[in-house]
Chain A
Amino acid sequence: MHKLLIDQPGAKKLLLGNEAIARGAIEAGLAFASTYPGTPSSEISLNFFQVSRESDLYFEYSTNEKVALEVAAAAANAGVRSMCVMKHVGVNVAADALMTLAYVGVRGGLVILTADDPYMFSSQNEQDNRYYGKLSGLPILEPSSAEEAMEMMGYAFELSEQLAEPVIFRTTTRLNHSTAPVVFGKITKPVTSGDFTKDPFNYVTVPAVSRKLHIKLLKNIEKAEALADASAYNFIEGSGNFGVICNGVSYNYVADAVGDLELDGKVKILRIGFSHPMPGSLIKSFVKDCEKVLVVEEGEPYMEEAVKAFAQEAGYTGSIKGKAPELFSRLFEFDPAMVRANIAKYFNIPYDPETPVDLSDIPELPQRPPNLCAGCSHRATFYAVNRATEGMETIHPTDIGCYTLGFLPPLSAGDFLICMGSSVSTGCGFAQTTDKKVISYIGDSTFFHSGIPGLINAVFNNHDMTLIILDNSTTAMTGHQPNPGVDMEALNFDGFGRVSVESVVRGIGVPHVSVIRPYNVKKSIAAVKEAISHKGVSVIIAQQACTLLERSMKKLVGKPFYVSDKCKNHRNCINDLGCPAFYVENEKVRINAGLCSGCGVCAQICPERAILPLK
């Protein structure tokens, strides 16, 4: 049995934050879940996927976050408890649905989980999604720990049903990827099917209906503010003349700092866990007795702005600070020492910080950046393109996935990236406005997610560009989730359809389409040369299963290679491919047989044919 399905109330388990969130939803009777995978949220969905194979939970990997939210919105409006999981930038994709779903509302509880990523451990920006609460008018809940997240999930569904609208559940990487002991509660049996009663004058958002629904939404915001004021998730701790207002993981750092600096009786804390609408009355009464107030929040001054506005209304004249050059930054994530030091500084408390060891005499160390895996077929495709375009001026818009790592030398296969799907559409713009050859890269999952509209645009507007679809039959970067192109039957999952990348591309009417096997270097180079000589849109589909996935499924068939005595040390292999299976020993190139996947690409480019398979 899946560990999140163990129905033993009171059992203590060590869970990852994302597992605790999934368990909380399961305990709340979650019946329907959808997602597009994205770090740091991915393990929530992975657990739902696993749980759905052995329980009544319906779960799907949807094609993108907008689709995922729309699917879940309908399920919730059929009356079943639903959840939609995504990373913070996924909410941008889903925002069109979100904004008007807020007007329409839901019948069964709907929780939209956004996993924000301060410091951008694995993201392209560090936007603060609390502003989506303000923008949409929907309530936001923010836990501070794994155990609180589990429990708060149950409340999120209740709140959603109480207000008849979705609730945004906001986490950050440090909560998603923290582990702590949690105590299991009781699992509520999910109600898996519902019904939909026609009511077009409340569900079909033509202007006349929406005008009415917006009035309803504003009334709901008032109700939600009253709930936030009374919420047990907005609590006051300790006592004193100094006030600290904090949220999320910052609360942990504040609570530890109060202990470390021995501030009992001097500092009181207001922890905000129900953060949209902000609890106005509670904040006014909290600041009233404070000599000065510090707001501790990662990201934007979301709470600070609200606290200052409420304080002004209440006639409070003390100092309120948070984001300031001498205090907290809007950049990156916080840590316990930073919060301790700023509390000490702002409230004039003596503090002697720990001194990290002096590193000034440490020599410059070789970097260890993440790299495409040994034998990754993306490397072979990038190599083929680099060879086929030698002497040409090129622009390579790239996209989001493992292959983004190809932007580093020696492959240098990435020049521009803003978001999922952007490689295709930005390729259109570059092709129109520059004389350089535009060759864009996108993965299979990202192509399905949001690359298709860009390709339709390229065909309709007849842009002169080549799109290379790196089809490794999985969503590799986030942990090998399936996508619509994956053969699920081959993975022993029944009940799925399959969409062929090639059929989609041909269906769009792309005038020049070719399919390559990137491990065949010569043929791949020839195919790229032909595609880029075509005036107009051309697409190359580079098909090769992800080597990391093949390895983990014990499906690798190639024998490892070695460098024989014929080697004359040209080093084309190491210098042009940058495969991590290579190393240099006594000035000779060697191959780590444990890492080598046997793709044979290096053997094909060696001028001496010195790289041979091990017998």
Chain B
Amino acid sequence: MPANSWTPDQPIVAIHDLHKSFGALEVLKGVSLEVMKGEVICIIGPSGSGKSTLIRCINALNPVDSGSILVEGQEVNDPAVDKLALRKKVGMVFQQYNLFPHKTALQNVMMAPLKVLKQPRGEVEKRARALLTRVNLEGKEDSYPGELSGGQQQRVAIARSLAMNPDVMLFDEVTAALDPETVKEVLVAIKDLAQSGMTCILVTHEMGFAREVADHIYFTDRGVIVEHGPPATFFTESSDPRTREFLSQIL
């Protein structure tokens, strides 16, 4: 293993010329982007434009065909990559929450630190309770996922991922499956996280939210990044006709 020469002033996630196909369907056609530590990135774009695939490649849930993904200087697109070490650094929250239904909220949050990181139970429990409080779920520690609303489940999922103390958080359309009235509570939790300095990469359809929290917005369409920029200019001064059409439909 070569010495890792990554320093915090370099991009924490650097993607270069990423290609990915599912059979004959090319989903990513040469995507490049860079995320600095502490930045909040939103990836927007029409359905099927490869947003979710892109974000899932970052923690090696999807293997890629060619190109490079560096996470803290470590190449993800390498058969010899230590996936477990990578996933300890990169947390992920899914559209469908994917909580473990046979465990309570607290057990869901505690499970990975206990079983994967082998940390002492007392310390893990203390941290897990603090995390649940942080996402406003005090009092729901002993509820099973089936007893919680969608928004509550999604916040448990965020706490579960944070319990591993990741350096980067990935959010894959985390509000898309929620009832409108519970979307806000999840967005508040993410915003709090973003403002605390966590590096976040979000795939989202919530334009207002993206505008509010993102440092940088990427617009993808048909497997390429069409345009990107800080929200202040992205929403008002976008030049590409595809971006303008998408924004006109959604805003």
Q: Is B a genuine binding partner of A?
A: no
Interface residues of B (CB under 8 A from A): none
Which A positions have Cβ atoms within 8 angstroms of B?
Answer: none
